[in-house]
Amino acid sequence: MSFPSNDHDHRSCVASALGAAEAECRRRGARLTDIRRRVLELIWTSHAPVGAYALLEQLGRGAAPPTIYRALDFLLAHGLIHRIETQNAYVGCSHPGQPHAGLFLLCRQCGAVAELAEAATTRAIEQEAAALGFQVDSLTVEAHGLCPGCRGGASP
């Protein structure tokens, strides 16, 4: 929902994301296989978006591109990750299960990302669109700038 503090317990951060993913997959009758689980874990290694080929390297031992892209497709389809269009990269979803338009704040300095799920902005855009007769099905919002930590002068 907001930017993670620099000293937060990231281990529990990852654990809770994986737990939520398991639950969501059970709920949906989807199989969170070993590969998919490992990819999701790798994505959650940091709070910054990760590229497909970076994940591929970390996956190790002769994994080929289709392996990673299939896992990403699965995770995207089930709302467990988002694709950051302006970076060709992927980030874990902070609100799995609850439908929402991803709205991202991307720090240009430290790379951190925060995902908002406020409906206000979404509604504002939908209304502006509706005024022109346009029906919005999906929405991509990516704001680039400086996160609180990187603005403060102190390095994040």
Partner DNA sequence: TCATCAATTGTTATATTATAACGTTACATC
Partner DNA sequence: GATGTAACGTTATAATATAACAATTGATGA
* 134 near DNA (CB under 7 A): no
Q: Is 91 helix (H, G, I), strand (E, B) or coil?
A: strand
Question: What part of residues 96-115 is at the interface with DNA (CB under 7 A)?
Answer: none
- Whose tokens are 């089930």? That residue is 78
Among 83, 47, 82, 53, CA closest to 67? 53
CB of residue 114 to DNA, shortest distance in Å: 21
* Choices 18-26, 28-36, 59-67, 122-130; region in contact with a second copy by CB under 8 A: 122-130
| Residue 154 within binding range of DNA, rule CB under 7 A | no
Q: 8 touches which of DNA, Zn ion, a second copy, none (CB within 5 to 8 A by kind)?
A: none
Quick check: 65 binds DNA (CB under 7 A)? Answer: yes
Q: Which does 110 bind (CB under 5 to 8 A by kind): DNA, a second copy, Zn ion, none?
A: Zn ion
Q: Would you say the C-alpha torsion 47, 145, 142, 84 has a positive or negative sign?
A: negative
Q: Which residues inside 54-83 make contact with a second copy, applying CB under 8 A?
A: none
Binding residues for a second copy, total number by CB under 8 A: 36
Kindly state the smallest distance separating residue 120's Cβ from a second copy, in Å: 7
List residues near Zn ion by CB under 5 A: 93, 95, 102, 107, 109-110, 112, 147, 150, 156
Up-side HSE of residue 51: CA atoms within 13 Å toward CB? 6
Classify the phi-psi angles of 5: left when phi > 0, otherwise alpha if psi is within -120 to 50, otherwise beta.
beta
Tokens of 29: 């009758």
Find out whether 40 and 23 touch, Cβ atoms under 8 Å.
no
- The answer to whether the beta carbons of residues 14 and 44 sit under 8 Å apart is yes
- Residues interacting with DNA, by CB under 7 A? 30-31, 33-36, 51-53, 62-67, 69-71, 73-74, 83, 88
